[in-house]
Structure 1
């Protein structure tokens, strides 16, 4: 009875490996040849799959370039949902972001993680897609913060403002890290944590009942 399950797990792992290989190949080609000059055919060929197979995983090469960011977004949303009930909003979101940043950097390596960030910031064609991705995850996090604290995000602006401020700190911290000569996880976490703390300085850990003030 275990064979079908085993085969299903094998297929899933193979698909995950192919997806990861396409991302890695795409990022390497973008770095070597430039984003605009790289074709989908070249990415597929680097992994020894057909363009048709490529499109089973990604709709465009933009999706390849932004895939790591999308994975990070999913991890942060899940991490926030897993934070202890009753934890203050800022504490929960801060821990979720910093914890998943460490996990992502440990998994991909800081140098590769930052190469992806640098690719996006210096490629105009990717900036719009990255802004859409950021807006989407901020909306998801806003909804989760609101749910955890029993407020209506359409009336109470605090969840949306909090997420926007924390993600502004994350973005600024990563930009600072891209310009930093050190390439280690601890330095990246230090810069991002400092940036988030500066961005959120003065915000209380717990909110009052009046939605017009913290």
Structure 2
């Protein structure tokens, strides 16, 4: 059996699919990095493509514009959270698994980008860009759908007909967003990973009144 056939038989993506995903991720990361560091108005599709080492035509094969490219980063990260959730030990409590899965993806940003005032301000400005709002809404919906499927598989529920996996996915998305927003504050003293851990500890405890 050829390697591509073996990949299809095992349910794993083939080489072509992996390369396409790598290109998609590279373009999204380049768009985010450039817009944060240089500002929304000064970043063109041509510049993003060059940063990622591909042609403008290749960019347009994946995204309609820089807003979609930036929003795609959120979807990809939440899909990795879903994959990490399914890889956690079967007997581990669900919210412990979710905390580990979220931290493994979101907290890595502590080491992949300069966490100084300029970077935080750049992220805040980028996320406040009106042109990005619609794509963020679409990205959140896609991210929650992917995570709900993983929660359903983990809990033996139905992602289409049961409310539970959808509710859990929505809570995870909201908790992560609150942690990121808090970490981006000018007076933030704790790294994103620490804030995420605190958020998910409170969620797992049932959000007791302080």
Distance 1:110 1:154, change over 3 A: same
* Residue 174 of structure 2 is aligned to residue 168 of structure 1: yes
* Residue 130 of structure 2 is aligned to residue 94 of structure 1: no
Q: 2:157: which partner in 1?
A: 151
- The alpha-carbon deviation at position 194 of structure 1 amounts to 1.8
Rg (Cα) greater in structure: 1
* Residue 78 of structure 2 is aligned to residue 73 of structure 1: yes
What do residues 47-71 of structure 1 show as CA deviations (whole Å, max 9, x unaligned)?
A: 6754223324433212332243233
Alignment of 1:111-122 (within 5 A): 114=120, 117-122=123-128
Unaligned segments of structure 1, at least 5 residues: 1-8, 204-214
Unaligned segments of structure 2, at least 5 residues: 1-14
* Residue 205 of structure 2 is aligned to residue 179 of structure 1: no
What do residues 144-173 of structure 1 show as CA deviations (whole Å, max 9, x unaligned)?
A: 212222122444322222222222111111
- The alpha-carbon deviation at position 122 of structure 1 amounts to 0.9
Alignment TM-score, normalising by the size of structure 2: 0.70
Q: Aligned pairs, how many?
A: 191
Look up the SS of the partner of 1:62 in the other structure: helix
Are the equivalent residues in 2 in contact too, given 1:168–1:199 (CA < 8 A)?
no
Q: 1:58: which partner in 2?
A: 63
User: Which portions of structure 1, spanning 4 or more consecutive aligned residues, are displaced by more than 6 angstroms?
Assistant: none
Distance 1:56 1:196, change over 3 A: same
Look up the SS of the partner of 1:85 in the other structure: coil
The RMSD of aligned alpha carbons is 3.6
Q: 1:26: which partner in 2?
A: 31
- The alpha-carbon deviation at position 17 of structure 1 amounts to 7.5
Distance 1:67 1:110, change over 3 A: farther
Farther-moved stretch of structure 1 (113-122 vs 55-64) = 113-122
- The alpha-carbon deviation at position 107 of structure 1 amounts to 3.5
- The alpha-carbon deviation at position 36 of structure 1 amounts to 4.7
Are the equivalent residues in 1 in contact too, given 2:158–2:165 (CA < 8 A)?
no
Q: 1:35: which partner in 2?
A: 40
What do residues 161-191 of structure 1 show as CA deviations (whole Å, max 9, x unaligned)?
A: 22222221111111111004457xx621121
